[in-house]
Amino acid sequence: MFRSIVSKAKDFLQGLIRQQDMPPKPTLDIDMAEFRAMRNLMIRVQDEARTIRRLQDDVLPKLKQQLADTKGVFKGKERKALTEQIEQTETKISTMLDALPEILKEDGYPDVQAFMATYRETETVVERYNRALAEWERKVKESRRPAAKERYSPPEQGSVQNRLKQLQAQGRQSKTRRKSFDRER
């Protein structure tokens, strides 16, 4: 019973020592809710930019190619319809390009460059925090490993021999005492 109490006290003290040796947990300098809102805004702006790029790179050239391929006297209605589609697509592209900065202005950013600069800075801070947190977790795990190994490591041969000698010496002392008790009776 005494051994179990001493063992538990030893484990408790080792835990306290490990806590003192652990490096402090890194802290984040920015509000994560604000960063998530910025990231969602960035995703929204990127989706709009992808749509604009698709219209510019895919749809508009195809319409222009169709207009160029439409030749002949009897294809005037088709040419007129394609020309109108091209104009509508160009108008849609210019409207979307004008609306892109407005999306950011609604959130309080003066222009795209200011938003991008702020977003990149906060993204860098969050990435540094994540790396520091991963390093801290790795150090904490490493600091706990030796204690577990010490508990489960086999005793050294010299210490076993010393312990056996101690037990034998205690056993001899207890035998000699018994003999002396027997003689006195």
Domains of the chain, by residue range, sit at: 29-144
Rounded Cα distance between 123 and 146, Å, is 36
- Residues 132-182 pLDDT 10s: 889 888 887 876 665 544 444 444 445 556 665 676 666 666 544 445 455
- Residues 12-54 pLDDT 10s: 988 887 777 667 778 887 888 888 989 999 999 999 999 999 9
Residues 6+ apart with CB under 8 A from 129: 26, 27, 28, 29
- CA trace torsion 151, 156, 159, 160 (10° rounding): 90
Residue 31 — φ and ψ, nearest 5°? -80, 125
Look up residue 132 and give its two tokens: 């520091």
Please identify which residue in the block is written with the tokens 């001899």. Answer: 172
Taking the model in full, what pTM does it have?
A: 0.56
Other CB atoms within 10 Å distance of the CB of residue 109:
19
Q: How far is CA 125 from CA 35, 40, 55, 122, 128, in A?
A: 10, 17, 35, 5, 5
Rounded Cα distance between 133 and 172, Å, is 58
